[in-house]
Amino acid sequence: MKSKRTKKEETKHSSLIVRWVSIVSLTITVSFLIFSIVIYSTVSQQAIHQQEEVSNKVVATLDNSLNVIRGELQISNVVPNLSPSTRRVLEDEPNISRSQAKNTFNDDLISSISNPDINVAVYNLHGEIVFSNGDKIPPYHKFSGNTNWNKINIVPHDTSLLVSHRIKSIRTGKTIGYVIVSNKMTNYNHLMKNLLHWMLLISIFAIILFTLISYIVVKDVVRPIKKMAKIAQKVDEDPNSAVRIENLHRKDELEDLAIAFNKMLDRMQGYIDQQKQFVSDVSHELRTPVAVIEGHLNMLSRWGKKDPEILDESITASVQEADRMKHLIQEMLDLTRAEQIDVQYPNEVTDVNAVLMRVANNMQMVHPDFNVQLDLDDLPQETEIQMYQGHFEQVLVILIDNGIKYSTDRKQINISAGVTQDTVQVVVQDFGEGISKENQKKIFNRFYRVDKARTREKGGNGLGLSIAQKLVTSYRGEISVDSVEGQGSQFKIAFPVLSKKKAAELKAKTRDNKPKGIL
Ligand code: ADP
C-alpha cells in the first residue's frame, strides 16, 4: 500500500516535469515554425520578384527590338532585328567593324539572352518558332484575349518562371508574334534550399537547447517540492517524527514555502505534545483522588460498615476528594475555555476601578482574618480595558487567592493599580512564603506546584496561574511575577488601555451582538 502510494506520487512529479517540458518544447517548435514560415515566404517573395524583373527586362528588350517590324514575325525579319550584323550581310551592306559593333549590338539583349538561366523563344502568329537562344526552347502557349501572363511553376528546388508576351507592331498596332521567356531561377532555388537547410538546423538546435534548459529549470523547481511531499508523507505516517526540510539555500519563494512548512510542522508537533501532556497530566491528577476514594470504599466494605468511626472518617474523606475532583474538573474546563476567548468575547469592555473594588471587597468578606488593601490613587476614573469582566475578576481572584493560600504570618494582601503610558497595571502583593527564582519560571505551567503535598493540602491543583496566564495573554495583556523567598510575591498584570472612542465602538458592537453565555 505504502510503496504503491509512493510510486503514484513519483509518477505525479515526473508527469509535472514531462508536462512542463512538453509545453516549452511545443511552444518553441510552434514559434520557430511560424518564424520560419514568415522568413521563408518573405525571402521567397522578394527573390521571385527579382527574378520576375529579370524576365520582364528580357521580354521588354526583345519587344523593343521586334516591335519595329511591320508584318508578321518570321526568321527573315526577326534575326536581322536581333542581330544588326546579320541584317547588314542580308542587305548587302559592309560588315560592321569591331569598334562599331560595340555600339551597334544591343548590349541589353546580348546580356539577357546569354544568361544561362534564361531561355528565349520567339513565335510567329501560327505558333512556329522563329528564334530561340538555346536547346531548351520554352513551349508555345496559345494566347487568349489580349493579356500577357507570368506563370511561376513551383517545384521544390526546381522552381521556374515562364513569361509570355504578345508583340505588337508600333507601326500597325497589330499583333505580329509572341515572345516566351523561361527562367530556371537557379539562384533562387539555391538560396531557398540553403535557407531551408539552415532554418531546419537552427530550429532543431534551438528546440533541443530550450528543452534541455527547461528540463534543468523544472527539475530544479520540482526537487524541493518533492522533498516537501516526502517529509509530509513521513509526518503523515508518524506524526511524532522530527524530520524537517533542510535549508534549501535558494532565497526564493520555494525556500519561503519550506520555512513556512517547517514552522507549520513544528506548531503541529507542539499542539500534539501539548495535548499528550495534558491528557497525561489530567489522568495523573485524577488518579490520586480516585485512589483515595477507592481506598476508603474498600476499607468501608471490609470493616467500616459496623464501625461508625471508620464510616464517618471514610465518608468525610471521600466527600473531600470528590469535591477536590469537582474543583479540578472545573479548573480544567476553565483552562480549555480560556483558549477560545477570541471567538467568544471579542468586544467586551471592563471598567477596571469598579471590578477591583468589588473583588477586593468580596475577598475581604470571605477572608476576614486578612487585611486586603486597595490602592487606586494612580488609576484614573473610568479606566477601561478590552476584556470580559468575568475573566478580569477570575484573574484577580486567582492571584488574591494564591496570596492568601501561600501566606505565612503576615496576613495582608496589597492590591494597587495605575496607568503608565498606554497600559493599565494591576499588582497583587502578598507577604507569604515567596517563590524561588527557579520556580518562578515554572509556576505558570499546567499542574506545576512548588510543593506538591503542601499545595494539595491547601486545595491547589497547579492550574490557577495557567488559567490566569491564558486569560491575560488572550486579551493581549502580560502577566509576570516578582518574588523573594520567605518575604512574599508580587504578581503584575498589564493590559493596553482602551481609548474612549474605541471603548464606545466596542460597547455598541457588544450591544448588537450579546454573548450567549459566560464562563
Ligand atoms: P495552585 O492552584 O496549586 O495554587 P497555581 O497555578 O495558582 O496553582 O500556582 C502554582 C504554584 O505556584 C503553587 O502551587 C504555588 O506553589 C506557587 N504559587 C502561586 N502563587 C503563589 C504565591 N502568591 N506565593 C507563593 N507561591 C505561589
Give ligand 1 pocket residues (Cβ under 6 A): 402-403, 405-406, 430, 432-435, 443, 448-450, 455, 460-466, 489
Cβ neighbours for 254, distance < 8 A, ≥ 6 positions apart: 221, 224, 225, 248
pLDDT (tens digit per residue) in 135-145: 778 888 766 65
How far, in Å, is the centroid of ligand 1 from the Cα of 462?
7
Q: Which of 58-62, 360-364, 460-464 has the highest mean pLDDT?
A: 360-364
Report, in this order, helix, strand and coil percent for the chain, each rounded to 5. Answer: 60, 15, 25
How far, in Å, is the centroid of ligand 1 from the Cα of 423?
26
The region that residue 484 occupies, defined by phi over 0 for left and psi between -120 and 50 for alpha, beta otherwise, is beta
> What is the side-by-side strand order in the sheet with 478-484?
371-378, 412-420, 423-430, 488-496, 478-484
* pLDDT number for residue 3: 46
pLDDT tier, 432 (very low <50, low <70, confident <90, very high otherwise) = very high
Q: Whose CA is nearest to atom 23 of ligand 1?
A: 403
Longest Cα–Cα distance in the chain: 172
How far, in Å, is the centroid of ligand 1 from the Cα of 284?
19
Q: Whose CA is nearest to atom 2 of ligand 1?
A: 460
* Mean residue pLDDT across the chain: 83
Whether 181 and 58 have beta carbons less than 8 Å apart is answered as yes
User: Can you tell me which atom of ligand 1 is nearest the CA of 444?
Assistant: 6
Following DSSP, what letter does each residue of 419-461 receive, concatenated?
A: EETTEEEEEEEE-SS---HHHHTTTTSTT--SSHHHHHHTT--
pLDDT tier, 91 (very low <50, low <70, confident <90, very high otherwise) = low
Give the pLDDT mean for 459-479.
89
Which among 65, 112, 70, 57 has a CA at the least distance from the CA of 86? 65
With the C-alpha atoms ordered 135, 140, 146, 152, is the resulting torsion angle positive or negative? Answer: negative
Q: Whose CA is nearest to atom 19 of ligand 1?
A: 402
Q: Whose CA is nearest to atom 8 of ligand 1?
A: 462
DSSP summary character for residue 412: E
434 or 311, greater pLDDT = 434
Which among 160, 138, 169 has a CA at the least distance from the CA of 71? 169
Q: What is the best residue among 435, 457, 484 to mutate for testing ligand 1's pocket, by most ligand atoms within 8 Å of CB?
A: 435
* pLDDT number for residue 1: 41
pLDDT (tens digit per residue) in 265-289: 888 888 888 788 778 878 887 887 8
Which among 141, 169, 143 has a CA at the least distance from the CA of 81? 169
Which grid cell is 159? 522552381
- Residue 331 phi, psi (nearest 5): -65, -40
What is the C-alpha R_g of the chain? 54
Task: Give the SS3 label for residue 162.
Answer: strand
User: Can you tell me which atom of ligand 1 is nearest the CA of 450?
Assistant: 16
How far, in Å, is the centroid of ligand 1 from the Cα of 233?
43
User: Can you tell me which atom of ligand 1 is nearest the CA of 465?
Assistant: 6
Whether 425 and 494 have beta carbons less than 8 Å apart is answered as yes
pLDDT (tens digit per residue) in 214-267: 999 888 888 888 888 899 899 888 888 888 888 878 888 888 898 999 999 888
- Cα separation, 479 vs 460, whole angstroms: 20
Whether 136 and 119 have beta carbons less than 8 Å apart is answered as yes
Q: Whose CA is nearest to atom 25 of ligand 1?
A: 434
How far, in Å, is the centroid of ligand 1 from the Cα of 313?
29
pLDDT tier, 292 (very low <50, low <70, confident <90, very high otherwise) = confident
Q: Whose CA is nearest to atom 7 of ligand 1?
A: 464
Cβ neighbours for 109, distance < 8 A, ≥ 6 positions apart: 61, 62, 65, 82
Q: What is the best residue among 327, 370, 406 to mutate for testing ligand 1's pocket, by most ligand atoms within 8 Å of CB?
A: 406
How far, in Å, is the centroid of ligand 1 from the Cα of 519?
22
pLDDT tier, 395 (very low <50, low <70, confident <90, very high otherwise) = very high
How far, in Å, is the centroid of ligand 1 from the Cα of 518?
25
User: Can you tell me which atom of ligand 1 is nearest the CA of 449?
Assistant: 14
Task: Give the SS3 label for residue 176.
Answer: strand
How far, in Å, is the centroid of ligand 1 from the Cα of 445?
11
Whether 107 and 83 have beta carbons less than 8 Å apart is answered as no
pLDDT (tens digit per residue) in 321-360: 888 888 888 888 888 888 766 655 667 899 999 999 999 9
427-466 burial, b for 16+ CB within 10 Å, e for fewer? Answer: bbbbbbbbbeeebbeebbebbbbbeeeebeeeebbbbbbb
- Cα separation, 380 vs 378, whole angstroms: 6
How far, in Å, is the centroid of ligand 1 from the Cα of 427?
16
Q: What is the best residue among 430, 455, 481 to mutate for testing ligand 1's pocket, by most ligand atoms within 8 Å of CB?
A: 455
Please check the confidence at residue 103 and state whether its pLDDT lies above 70: no
How far, in Å, is the centroid of ligand 1 from the Cα of 269?
29
- Cα separation, 154 vs 189, whole angstroms: 10
pLDDT (tens digit per residue) in 491-508: 999 999 888 888 888 888
CA angle 346, 349, 350 (to 5 degrees): 135
How far, in Å, is the centroid of ligand 1 from the Cα of 443?
7
DSSP summary character for residue 497: B
How far, in Å, is the centroid of ligand 1 from the Cα of 461?
9
Structure pTM? Answer: 0.55
User: Can you tell me which atom of ligand 1 is nearest the CA of 434?
Assistant: 25
* pLDDT number for residue 492: 97
